[in-house]
Amino acid sequence: MSHINLSEHGITVEDVQRNLPPAKLYAEAIRDDSDCALADSGALIAYSGAKTGRSPKDKRVVKNPASENDVWWGSVNVPIDDATFQINLERAKDYLNTRKKLYCVDAFAGWDPKNRVKVRVICSRPYHALFMHTMLIRPTPEELAEFGKPDGIIYNAGEFPANQRTSGMTSKTSIDLSLESREMVILGTEYAGEMKKGVFTFLNYFAPKRNILSMHCSATADPKTDQSSLMFGLSGTGKTTLSADPKRLLIGDDEHCWSDTGIFNIEGGCYAKAVDLTPESEPDIFRALRFGAVLENVVYAEDTHRVDFTDTSITQNTRGAYPIEFIRNAKLPCVAGHPSDIIFLTCDAFGVLPPVSKLSSPQAMYHFISGYTAKIAGTEIGVTEPQATFSPCFGGPFLVWHPMKYAGLLAEKMQRHLSNVWLVNTGWSGGGYGVGKRMKLSLTRAIIDAIHSGQLAKARTVPDPVFAFGVVTECAGVPRDVLTPRDTWTDKAAYVATAKKLAKLFIDNFKQYESGASAEVRAASPSP
């Protein structure tokens, strides 16, 4: 009944199980995959092997005359020729054909029926099938019966390495995309997030062709007005955490599209960071990690199978994937109206950006193109220097077109729908890394609440002397002095020096976009 013949894709394995329900995938995973276990919460624990995060340096895109002029070639989109792609595709199929049993997941990407895409995933690990069952939009039995030909196919042969001697390969890992044949090949990495971001990358190519903006952001909706609010941000800035908000309806935690009719989620599930998760600080996410969820690379107690979320001995990047309806206030279908508010999240480890500022349209463009956040360089004792990361559109690794293509779409939509734009620092306060502390989650939540209630749109702002945006100086639930970073630093001279240093990093990074930016946007640059 659930068997499918994949010979049209060159897959000759007879036992291919299509769209198995979670209970069956659990049974297979625990029986056949020594790297899977059942957590006491009911979630399926799985290990992804050597790779516990994405491998952006190993991504390749086929250079094809049909799309060649559309693609932003460079370190994000590294070209390979079609012959090389075919070699890797064949290698993946050859590997999959050595397996006794395979899994196929047919599901949708995009909650807007007019713009949804049919995705087929072919893989050998039941955990990968469960992950994509969770992260894609699950078809009804009727939709599955009439699924037909998929729009895109992922061949996940991640257990098997790429051949380093194949031209253009620099390691045993290769993630290859062909925009023309709409196929993706995975070799040499079992990190499940690679598949979800592959789907996103395809949408980042096809959506803008239809004047739809694809975005690396979370989204919630106002339960009364259905107006949405978007939170853009790089990894670890708080998209998933802050979108689990009991006062709002959850639309999605990571990937959305903005069309002429409003916004829609691309995915059917969420993929939350699980490090240090507690039921107190993130109750909705904690509760969602139950039967049906996948817990990736977490450590558990041998005797109780209780997960220790503080244990990062496998990786800092432990993750939990759960269907979106596991969050109580998720809105199904995951669509909402045009955004009243657009929030850029940044985790500023320098501690100089204010907790919340209001951006003018040109400032919004400037910060969208810059895509700033800062990481801690290392975990060695004594390392106190944060490292700035600039990733255009807050999602550089997933862009296919030049960043200006997305920025242009955002500018046009934002101005037409009069969305307010905010820059929210979820990073350091009271000094940089080593001196200050990360902003309390409760304070950031108070800021987000005040944005959504409309309070901050009316609040007084003061122009920042270096960054020029409007610093919000009053917000319910947030102590006044916290709102102006300078006031929280004991060493005022150090604050000024650090702010100027960060401004300089912004300016240096923006140079590469200057020729494509309008005079207004260029003028939104900070001035040290």
Query: Where on the chain is the footprint of ligand ATP (CB under 6 A)?
Result: 233, 235-242, 254, 272-273, 275, 426, 438-439, 441, 444
Looking only at the bridges linking them, the beta strands covering 294-296 and 319-323 are antiparallel
Write down the catalytic residue from 240, 241, 259, 318.
Answer: 240
Write down the catalytic residue from 125, 197, 405, 413.
Answer: 197
Report the partner that residue 439 touches, choosing among ligand ATP, Mn ion, none (CB closer than 5 to 8 A by kind): ligand ATP
Q: Which residue, 234 or 365, is less far from Mn ion as judged by CB?
A: 234
254 among known catalytic residues: yes
CB of 452 to ligand ATP, least distance (A): 15
User: What Rg value do the Cα atoms of the chain yield, rounded?
Assistant: 23
Contact between 348 and 428 under an 8 Å Cβ cutoff? The reply is yes
Alpha helices in 270-375 (DSSP H): 283-288, 361-370
CB atoms near residue 237 (< 10 Å): 22
Report the partner that residue 525 touches, choosing among ligand ATP, Mn ion, none (CB closer than 5 to 8 A by kind): none
CB of 181 to ligand ATP, least distance (A): 28
CB of 269 to ligand ATP, least distance (A): 12
449 among known catalytic residues: no
54 among known catalytic residues: yes
Q: Which residue, 227 or 240, is less far from Mn ion as judged by CB?
A: 240
Q: Which residue, 283 or 454, is less far from Mn ion as judged by CB?
A: 283
Contact between 267 and 234 under an 8 Å Cβ cutoff? The reply is no
> What is the full DSSP assignment across 383-434?
---EEEEE-GGG-GGG--S-HHHHHHHHHHHHHHTT-EEEEEE-SEESSSTT
Report the partner that residue 84 touches, choosing among ligand ATP, Mn ion, none (CB closer than 5 to 8 A by kind): none
Q: Which residue, 112 or 254, is less far from ligand ATP as judged by CB?
A: 254
The dihedral region occupied by 182, where left means phi > 0, alpha psi between -120 and 50, and beta the remainder, is left
Q: Which residue, 331 or 405, is less far from Mn ion as judged by CB?
A: 331
* Peptide bond connecting 333 to the previous residue in cis, omega within 30 degrees of 0: yes
CB of 244 to ligand ATP, least distance (A): 9
197 among known catalytic residues: yes
CB of 274 to ligand ATP, least distance (A): 8
Q: Which residues of this protein are in contact with Mn ion, per CB under 5 A?
A: 239-240, 254
- Nearest alpha carbon to residue 110 among 139, 145, 144, 79: 139
Largest CA distance in the chain: 71
How far is CA 452 from each of CA 55, 75, 259, 342, rounded to the nearest angstrom? 36, 37, 22, 10
- Report angle CA 237, 242, 243 to the nearest 5 degrees: 120
- Nearest alpha carbon to residue 404 among 523, 521, 257, 516: 516
- What gap in Å lies between CA 371 and CA 349, rounded to an integer? 15
Q: Which residue, 136 or 521, is less far from Mn ion as judged by CB?
A: 136
290 among known catalytic residues: no
133 among known catalytic residues: no
Report the partner that residue 242 touches, choosing among Mn ion, ligand ATP, none (CB closer than 5 to 8 A by kind): ligand ATP
Minimal CB distance to ligand ATP: which residue?
238
Report the partner that residue 376 touches, choosing among Mn ion, ligand ATP, none (CB closer than 5 to 8 A by kind): none
Q: Which residue, 125 or 197, is less far from ligand ATP as judged by CB?
A: 197
492 among known catalytic residues: no
- What gap in Å lies between CA 135 and CA 255, rounded to an integer? 11
Contact between 277 and 269 under an 8 Å Cβ cutoff? The reply is no
CB of 194 to Mn ion, least distance (A): 15
Contact between 61 and 80 under an 8 Å Cβ cutoff? The reply is yes
Contacts of 502 (CB under 8 A, 6+ apart): 348, 350, 352, 353, 388, 526
Report the partner that residue 441 touches, choosing among ligand ATP, Mn ion, none (CB closer than 5 to 8 A by kind): ligand ATP
CB of 193 to ligand ATP, least distance (A): 8
Report the partner that residue 91 touches, choosing among Mn ion, ligand ATP, none (CB closer than 5 to 8 A by kind): none
173 among known catalytic residues: no
Main-chain dihedrals φ then ψ at residue 226, nearest 5 degrees = 65, 5
Write down the catalytic residue from 9, 54, 196, 405.
Answer: 54
CB of 162 to Mn ion, least distance (A): 28
Q: Which residue, 120 or 273, is less far from ligand ATP as judged by CB?
A: 273
Rounded (10°) angle between helices 403-416 and 193-209: 70
Name beta bridge partners: 356.
424
Catalytically annotated residues: 54, 197, 216, 235, 239-240, 254, 319
